[in-house]
Each structure stands twice: as structure tokens, then as C-alpha cells.
Amino acid sequence: MKENTIENDILQYLNYMGGTFWRTHDAKHRPCTIGVPDIVGVRDGRFVAVEVKRPGCKATVAQDAFMVRLKGCGALAIIATSVADVQEAMKK
């Protein structure tokens, strides 16, 4: 399964569950900060960030470091390979 397909599924799920979520980039416009997660948003007053990966793939060092920084600020930072990963993390 393509990473873009997983990203679309996760984004659709998050917006269905409530809150506001959006992609941080598209094929033509990349974020200027290395490691920025694919999807960000707010739900129930909490900042949520999701780095999407295909199953078996891992986040880069820069992506991991950015997620650690976000967690340090109180955000829910998730590295996900599926909607199920996001569902599980949102329960916590």
C-alpha cells in the first residue's frame, strides 16, 4: 500500500472523529523544517501530529527528533502505518 493512501485514510478518519486536521505538505510544496509530520491538527484542545509510514518503514532521525520535541510540549505525536495505529494512540 502506498504511503499516500495510508495518509488519506488517516486524515479522513481524524476529520470524521472531530477536530481540525490537515496535511503539512503536498507533492509540490515541502515544509521548510526538516522532520515536520505529515498530518497535524487539534482535537479536544490537544495538538496532534502524525508521521505516516508504510508498514515496515521507519521514521528518519529528523522525524523522530521532531516528534520527541512535540511530545515534550504536550502534543500527541504518533508514527503510524495505519488508521488502527492512530485509533490506538488516541485512546491514551
CATH code: domain of residue 45: 3.40.1350.10
Average pLDDT over residues 66-73: 97
Residues found in the chain: 92
Residue 1's pLDDT is 85
Average pLDDT over residues 53-74: 96
Task: Please check the confidence at residue 32 and state whether its pLDDT lies above 90.
Answer: no
**Cα angle 73, 29, 42; round to 5:** 30
Give the structural domain span for 47: 3-91
Q: How many domains does the chain have?
A: 1
Q: 0.85 cut: is pTM over it?
A: yes
Q: What percent of the chain shows pLDDT beyond 70?
A: 92
Residue 62's pLDDT is 94
The per-residue DSSP string of 37-50 comes to: -SEEEEETTEEEEE
Residue 42's pLDDT is 97
In angstroms, the CA 25 to CA 21 distance is 12
Residue 27's pLDDT is 57
